[in-house]
Structure 1
């Protein structure tokens, strides 16, 4: 899709949503692999399958349901993206971040995204929740490449603080308040996939400073920051990659582990949304 058609598609989808949503959401929650159960906590007022949304990509990964859910959590108006898109599915990074661009135009000011990630830091344990404090983009593509739409954001957006410090502090404070003792912070590396990392690649990613690795989230973060949204990223650390004792990484194991962490991530997000983060 060329630039002009992409802009038209975003505006058309935003107009479609604006005419149908019961209210405009303040916060977007994007659910990653194995974490779709979060949607059960939402007081849903409207569910729209991605297939009914104009120009939305199609979720092709089995663990991603493919619904836009509009509702409330803790009384706060939220839009939940139940399922995401990935570069490895054949989409451009601009297409991957299409939902975030649309919802930003509807007035959403905060993005909370979740993903499943492989642990790289040897001090981490499988089953941890990593609050992302920074990222490394190894996709080789940026969703802002091409002509800039000045009304959507600046040509050269600053990423000195991609993840909001106030939201990070709120998440860590809420983890303590909720009795979650498996919450850590770290740097997330995004690779193209769909092949998983080799032992040599794992060593290299560690040397680059990454604490966990996955195949998503970074395009959405870049577009959210371009649009002026505050971002909180949460990774379900589903396994630990030890390059000196490398074990086969099975997708089913990743999904199952992420599913077990899912209720804790749900608790954490609900607590953050219930807190007045403007104090941070």
Structure 2
């Protein structure tokens, strides 16, 4: 019988990874959101472990999200790639990625690179644009740390997104001649899209993009002592900012249209990172 306690799940999942990928020593963990899956195709000498074989790992229920852990190389860096994530809107629980991220931290990953598809609330950041996350708004007001004990649960989030990693991302974009916006990501629970009034609210609060993921994983990673870098791919304008009708199918279509651009940038960035 598979364990259910998160601590036991981490231990069991870590044992599976060490047995199957006994030579692997990844330092960078990567979470692929919609539109970023092309990175998985660029990994050198990839080895694959299904989430189904890793206790406590999610079984994604969202179209467009895979469910494998890949391990291989991007440039000189060994990476562990999560090809799909558990979204809080699937169960109402923000802790769905606790076991995967804590397992990768215990395996040796001290950097988490996150990606997502998002809606833009800025006229100068149309669909297809890339945004470096400088900060976030937890508008869902949910935390994966609920139930934790001790002083460690009170995590400092003043620099949730690592300043040095962000500087390297900006420098790489400049070197490649690519436009990389930087801004604040607002997390709303979903799964319904935002109303025009909610989009106006996020603008007033200082958001540049909106989405339904990433923030819980950032909190988990910071609690585990990992440095975080996060990138958003704009797949649509927020409700009321264009005439388009929003749907998950539309999001996937737009993400696919920009996938080569987003994945190529991310692959080059990871290869260029100085850790």
* Aligned residue in 2 for 1:99: 100
For the residue of structure 1 that corresponds to 2:70, the secondary structure is strand
Counterpart contact for 1:189–1:212, Cα < 8 Å = yes
Counterpart contact for 1:36–1:83, Cα < 8 Å = no
1:207 aligns with 2:204: yes
* Aligned residue in 1 for 2:265: 268
Q: How does 1:1-280 map to 2 (within 5 A)?
A: 5-21=5-21, 22-90=23-91, 92-148=93-149, 154-181=152-179, 183-241=180-238, 243=240, 247-278=244-275
State the 1:242 CA deviation.
5.4
Uncovered stretches (5+) of structure 2, i.e. residues with no partner: none
State the 1:245 CA deviation.
5.1
State the 1:178 CA deviation.
1.6
CA distance 1:240–1:6, shift in 2 (3 Å) = same
State the 1:260 CA deviation.
2.6
CA distance 1:13–1:244, shift in 2 (3 Å) = closer
Runs of 4+ more than 6 Å apart: none
TM norm structure 1: 0.91
Uncovered stretches (5+) of structure 1, i.e. residues with no partner: none
For the residue of structure 2 that corresponds to 1:99, the secondary structure is helix
Structure 1 vs Structure 2 CA RMSD:
1.8
Counterparts of 1:35 and 1:27, CA distance in 2 = 16
CA distance 1:245–1:74, shift in 2 (3 Å) = closer
State the 1:276 CA deviation.
4.7
For the residue of structure 2 that corresponds to 1:171, the secondary structure is helix
CA distance 1:255–1:148, shift in 2 (3 Å) = same
Q: Structure 1, residues 73-128: CA drift from partner, whole Å, max 9, x if none?
A: 11310011111110111162112332111101111011111000000123221110
State the 1:180 CA deviation.
1.4
Q: Structure 1, residues 38-86: CA drift from partner, whole Å, max 9, x if none?
A: 2100013310111121221101111011110010011310011111110
Counterpart contact for 1:116–1:258, Cα < 8 Å = yes
For the residue of structure 2 that corresponds to 1:231, the secondary structure is strand
TM norm structure 2: 0.92
CA distance 1:261–1:53, shift in 2 (3 Å) = same
